[in-house]
Structure 1
Amino acid sequence: MTTAREIMTAGADCVRTDQTAADAARLMTDRGVGALPICGKDDKIKGVLTDRDLVVKVLGPGRDAGTFPAGDLNQEEAATVGADDAVEDVLATMTRYKVRRLPVIDQQRLVGMISLADVARALPESQVGDLVEVLSSE
């Protein structure tokens, strides 16, 4: 059984709820990523912030990224996957929540991120195709 830990990109960083959208953008640029988990002061994941979120929810409406709190971009429910969950469970979670990226946790601690590309390398083409179809139907 292939697990989330085996296909994830380890060492993901969080943007904190009390940081700004501009801080998140700088962190994404520095790390060369298009998404970051949003973590609260309790270190628990509150959501995932994407580069698209920054454009659509902050920059596009003319908000000041330097003062807009990253925490205001939280989702109602943060979708995560356990590090020891099977890759099929990762696929099911991505499909259920219609997300392209998932934080990987181990006992509530962020240990990595899984992207659609990671799943595509680990699963048969037909299963990945079903996920892409679900994600494209939004």
Structure 2
Amino acid sequence: MADARTLMSTDVQCIPAEETVDRAAQVMREHDVGALPVKSADGALIGIVTDRDLVVRAIAAGKAPDRTTLADLIEGTPVAVAPGAHSTEVLQAMGNAQVRRVVVVDDGDLLGIISEADLARHLADEDLAAFVRRVYQG
């Protein structure tokens, strides 16, 4: 099995926490992604915003997309793994948190992101199936 460095995508678009929901949606469309790591003004990784967050937690909740910032929307810290983490550790971290993406960080620096699509490209079918059962069963 592979490690996180092998699994991750490195062309990661980040967005500042002070950006608005509508701007995040535009960036997602421009880069054809469903999630963006969110950074604070000092450059620290403070969360991940997904397309689902934009729809469910902002628009469907009646928040104005042009006035609601990502800082108002994100909750908690992103699930992160080290670049040398074995794929079983990556799957365990994702399964435990029931998330579909994890960031790969080294000394606080964002190196990449691992999504379900990355797992599908690199993992054996049985490992991927076990992950899917774990994340989607709860």
Do Structure 1 and Structure 2 share a fold, with TM-score over 0.5?
yes
Question: For residues 56-90 of structure 1, what are the alpha-carbon distances to aligned partners after superposition, in whole Å with 9 as ceiling and x for unaligned?
Answer: 01111221111101012222232111222222211
8 Å contact kept, 2:98–2:136 = no
Q: Which runs of structure 2 are paired with 1:36-51 in the superposition (5 Å)?
A: 36-51=36-51
Please give the alpha-carbon distance, in whole angstroms, between the structure 2 residues aligned to 1:123 and 1:76: 28
1:62 aligns with 2:40: no
8 Å contact kept, 2:78–2:102 = no
Q: Which runs of structure 2 are paired with 1:1-138 in the superposition (5 Å)?
A: 2-138=2-138
Please give the alpha-carbon distance, in whole angstroms, between the structure 2 residues aligned to 1:85 and 1:110: 14
TM-score of the two chains, using structure 1 as the length reference: 0.91
Question: For residues 82-127 of structure 1, what are the alpha-carbon distances to aligned partners after superposition, in whole Å with 9 as ceiling and x for unaligned?
Answer: 2222222111111111111111112211121111121123222222
Please give the alpha-carbon distance, in whole angstroms, between the structure 2 residues aligned to 1:2 and 1:42: 33
Q: Which runs of 5+ in 2 are unaligned?
A: none
Please give the alpha-carbon distance, in whole angstroms, between the structure 2 residues aligned to 1:90 and 1:43: 24
Identity of aligned residues (%): 33
Aligned pair count?
138
Q: Which sits farther off after the overlay, 54-63 or 125-134?
A: 125-134
8 Å contact kept, 2:102–2:115 = yes
Please give the alpha-carbon distance, in whole angstroms, between the structure 2 residues aligned to 1:11 and 1:121: 16
Amino acid paired to 1:20: T
Please give the alpha-carbon distance, in whole angstroms, between the structure 1 residues aligned to 2:22 and 2:112: 22
Q: Secondary structure at the match of 1:33?
A: coil
Please give the alpha-carbon distance, in whole angstroms, between the structure 2 residues aligned to 1:110 and 1:77: 13
Q: Secondary structure at the match of 2:93?
A: helix
